[in-house]
Structure 1
Amino acid sequence: MGPEDRFCEACGTDLLRRTGSTAPAASPVACAGCGEPASEDEYCQGCGLRRRDGTERVELDLEVLAGVSDRGLVHARNEDAVAVGRLRDGPTAAVVCDGVSSVHRPELASRAAADTALEALLACDDTRPAAERVRAAVAAAAAAVAGLPAPPGAEPPSCTLVCALVHGPESDGPEITIGWVGDSRAYWLAATQAGEPARLLTRDHAWAGEKVARGELDPAEAAHHPLAHAITRWLGADGEPEPDLVTLRPAGPGALLLCSDGLWNYLPDAADLAALALPVLDGAGPLAAATALTAVALDAGGRDNITVVVVPVRPRTERSS
């Protein structure tokens, strides 16, 4: 094999891209409630429990970024999805999606959106600017979700999405382009020596966030309103899949964090997230940091699915003379 080879001649492995995503078990598993033998049925015929599909806990480690998705302690199924990847000598990308629990099979929307968006973000022949690539990725994800079937009378699958494309370090240092629809979030976790604050990079497409942005409610009032978590944009039928975008050029080292509301509902402050994640990241790497953040949400009650992606980002270092 040569350095320009795309696929391994022996096994067919893609040598240019490394990816990982939420994927159900290759074959059905026995019911976790009563032990009823494996079946293709969505619900166990013995006890009526919705069957698990092997996605209750997903851990993805590509060394340069990592993700964890966990069912939590209350939901019967993990309706979140995560997809991460990197191109050899190129960008890294990550996608986090959160299924809308009130619709039919929301986990299908999350998985379709995450996989489709990642594929578009890492398209080897796409030379467009990062912002155009991110918009195209979200549009492709929206189309994939809109095409999912639903039984008559049921609300079709839908989800939120946040994704990131990370270039660099190059001549001007790393560049991060983020796109999102809904209330899954992106944070910049700045290291202490970075000389810039840790901060939330996205603004929720949700009733509460929009009321606060317009000055109609203060954050405390909005957080306790019955409609606080009602989203105003989503991917799926009757949704508004138009993303907002933001580009970040970090001034110093730190980490990009993508997460679903299963984490930020418990730990919404960027400085608190940085204080917890960065020491673990420095000592043990991105998977350990993502695991530590997930554990915080589980320890706090785990009332929702939890998905976390951590991407270490370091500025360009000057070459030694």
Structure 2
Amino acid sequence: MMAAWRDVLARFHGESADKLMAGALALAPAVVKAEPPIGVQSGTEQGVPVAATASLAQTAALDDTTRPLSPLGPQSAVLRGERVLAAAALRDIGRERHENQDHCFAQVLFCPSDQRNLALGLFVVADGMGGHHDGGYASKLALSTVVQTVLTELIAPVLGADRPTPQPILQAAVQAANAAVHEAGQQAGSDMGTTCTAALVYGSELIVAHVGDSRALLIGGGVKQLTTDHTAVGRLIAIGALTPEEAHDHPLRNQLYRSIGQQASVAVEVTTTPLRDQTHLVLCSDGLWGLVSEANIADIVTEAPTPHMAARHLIAQANLVGGHDNIAAVVVTLPTTGEARL
């Protein structure tokens, strides 16, 4: 298991994040998802036929300590029409930029135990700061640092018998990303910086750790922005000095007052939300939310048959209405209430 995660992380350093869709089926036994995983190399949808999965379910127990899987039937969450945790991450250069400085990541896995089968999902968007040197490197370094920290401090213990508290771990992961980018900038004599928004689905909880102006949007019965825009305009909106409509074309809309890598330390915004009737989570850079309204994002995500198709449609819509910036989108289907386990 650890080797598989390290392999995923190692491959990220040499591949675009839109090709880094590691499947939960490769990391957890006996997982049936509502959609096939996205291929790591090709981006095409792949899957095991249900008939083949059912045949595997008939396999006899290996010894007295194991038992065969039950055949797929009405008790299956998928066949009951219930949602299970699934995700996709895609990025696009847009229509005007010559370099893609956005990076994104999505990983879902399930950890069976005697008590429950814990669903885990780690999702990250990092948007390198335009106008600064090495923005693409900064966003990639921040993302890989978050993933490595969560892997070591949270995922590895969960695979054992421990149940660590996720909030401080995710917060520390983003702080570690800040330290890594700041140190790299100091060594290179660069003012590199990036945003970083990381979300963790941990059973029936959603934890978000955030710096910058990428966004986390929770969908279900409306759209709720879980993050604060750490921009001059965002602060003006917060104090009531500016409306969101006025902010759209404001000259300070892209001026960050808090980002990853600009200072030796950074205050990380952390929120925890119980998962009840919400259906989807979207993490995105301003190349998406700056051009596509929250209502339109929600419509696209809820109408798409899979997270992968939703992410593709979101990027296509942003490009259709301008594509002025790089675009990163992570789309997560949240489990049905009470189905944090399969």
So what's the TM-score if we normalise by structure 2? 0.70
Deviations 1:41-66 (A, max 9, x none): xxxxxxxxxxxxxx496463634211
Match of 1:175 among 202, 205, 210: 205
Q: Cα–Cα, structure 1 residues 209 and 106, in superposed 2: closer, same or farther, change >3 Å?
A: same
What secondary structure does 1:308 align onto? strand
Asked if residue 118 in structure 1 is aligned to residue 147 in structure 2, the reply is yes
1:309 aligns with 2:330: yes
2:219 match = 189
Matched, 1:82 2:82: no
8 Å contact kept, 1:98–1:159: yes
Task: Specify whether residues 239 and 263 from structure 1 end up closer, same or farther in structure 2 by C-alpha distance, changes over 3 A only.
Answer: farther
| 2:297 alignment partner in structure 1 | 273
Residue 240 of structure 1, CA deviation: 6.0
Residue number in structure 2 paired with 1:139: 175
State how 1:143-222 maps to structure 2 within 5 Å.
143-149=179-185, 155-168=190-203, 174-190=204-220, 196-222=221-247
Residue of 288, 298, 303 corresponding to 1:263 = 288
Q: Which range is displaced more, 62-71 or 231-240? A: 231-240
Runs of 4+ in 1 over 3 A off after TM superposition: 15-25, 55-59, 149-152
CA contact (8 A) 1:21 1:84 kept: no
Q: Distance in 2 between matches of 1:116 and 1:70?
A: 22
In the alignment, which residue of structure 1 is the partner of 2:71?
Answer: none
Contact 1:253 1:313 in 2 (8 A): yes
Q: Identify if the C-alpha distance between structure 1 residues 66 and 21 changes in structure 2 by more than 3 Å, giving closer, same or farther.
A: farther
Structure 2 letter corresponding to 1:257 = V
Flag structure 1 segments of 5+ consecutive residues without an equivalent. 1-5, 8-12, 26-54, 169-173, 191-195
Q: In 1, distance between residues paired with 2:284 and 2:166?
A: 21
Between the aligned partners of 2:91 and 2:238, the Cα distance in structure 1 is: 30
Contact 2:282 2:332 in 1 (8 A): yes
Amino acid at match of 2:175: A
Corresponding residue of 2:135: 106
Unpaired segments ≥5 residues, structure 2? 24-36, 38-85, 112-117
Q: Which residue of 2 aligns with 1:97?
A: 126
Structure 1 or 2: larger strand share? Answer: 1
Q: Distance in 2 between matches of 1:98 and 1:83?
A: 12
Q: Distance in 2 between matches of 1:175 and 1:216?
A: 34
* Contact 1:121-1:165 within 8 A present in 2 as well: no
What residue number does 1:44 align with?
none
Mapped to 2, the partners of 1:249 and 1:316 lie a distance apart of 11
Aligned partner of 1:65 in structure 2 is 87
Q: Which amino acid aligns with 1:183?
A: D
Matching residue of 1:289: 310
TM-score normalised according to structure 1 size = 0.75
The 8 Å contact of residues 87 and 122 in structure 1, kept in 2 or not, is answered as no
Q: Deviations over 1:156-190 (max 9, x none)?
A: 2110010101012xxxxx21000110000000121
- Distance (whole Å) between structure 2 residues aligned to residue 291 and residue 103 of structure 1: 28
